[in-house]
């Protein structure tokens, strides 16, 4: 009997988005990264930081966002559960939809898997969001949307001029 290499059981093209618009946004994101690492979510690469107005209400505090390319042994729903636990540890409260928050962790893409239900993969609105597309482009310039079969450059160019002008790399 041969011992199976543990890397064979690890998904290697997982992209997580992390955002914060309350408190010390960089510290919140860095703490989320630390908690992910403590839970065996290993980083392959990390995007630049991007700042955008809050959506849908630009009068709320601005968001800071990054995308991580990670690998782990977890299944998609297990990873989602871990992300929600980390959000709560970092002070996220159950509030109204799109309310300001200390930490938001989204699974953007999980090895190209397509899911609908408790977890939608790829993330259902990621293709419309500059704060996901720009940092994802930092990490994987040839990424293709698993459902739309559209490459990331075309997705970025399909954003409104307002969305493109309002994002700033930090």
Its domain, for residue 27, covers 8-169
Contact 18, 65 (CB under 8 A): yes
Residues of the chain predicted below pLDDT 50: 1-7
Per-residue pLDDT at 101: 87
Contact predicate 147/122, CB 8 Å: yes
Domain with 64 in it: what CATH number? Answer: 3.30.70.560
Distances in whole angstroms, Cα of residue 155 to Cα of each of 19, 109, 133, 136, 164 = 20, 15, 8, 11, 11
**75-87 tens-digit pLDDT:** 999 999 999 999 9
Residue 144 DSSP class: B
Report the distance separating Cα 101 and Cα 103, nearest Å: 5
pLDDT value, residue 7: 47
Domain count of the fold of the chain: 1
56 occurs within a structural domain: yes
pTM strictly above 0.85: yes
């Amino acid at each position: 009997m041969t011992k199976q290499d543990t890397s064979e059981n690890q998904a290697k093209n997982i992209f997580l988005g992390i955002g914060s618009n309350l408190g010390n946004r960089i510290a919140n994101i860095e703490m989320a990264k630390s908690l992910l690492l403590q839970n065996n979510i290993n980083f392959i690469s990390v995007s630049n930081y991007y700042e955008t107005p809050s959506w849908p209400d630009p009068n709320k505090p601005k968001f800071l966002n990054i995308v991580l390319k990670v690998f782990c042994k977890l299944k998609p729903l297990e990873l989602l559960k871990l992300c929600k636990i980390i959000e709560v540890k970092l002070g996220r409260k159950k509030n109204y939809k799109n309310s300001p928050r200390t930490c938001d962790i989204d699974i953007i893409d999980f090895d190209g898997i397509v899911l609908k239900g408790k977890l939608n993969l790829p993330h259902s609105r990621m293709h419309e969001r500059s704060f996901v597309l720009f940092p994802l482009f930092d990490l994987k310039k040839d990424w293709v949307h698993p459902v739309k079969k559209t490459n990331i450059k075309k997705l970025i160019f399909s954003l409104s001029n307002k969305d493109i002008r309002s994002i700033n790399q930090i």
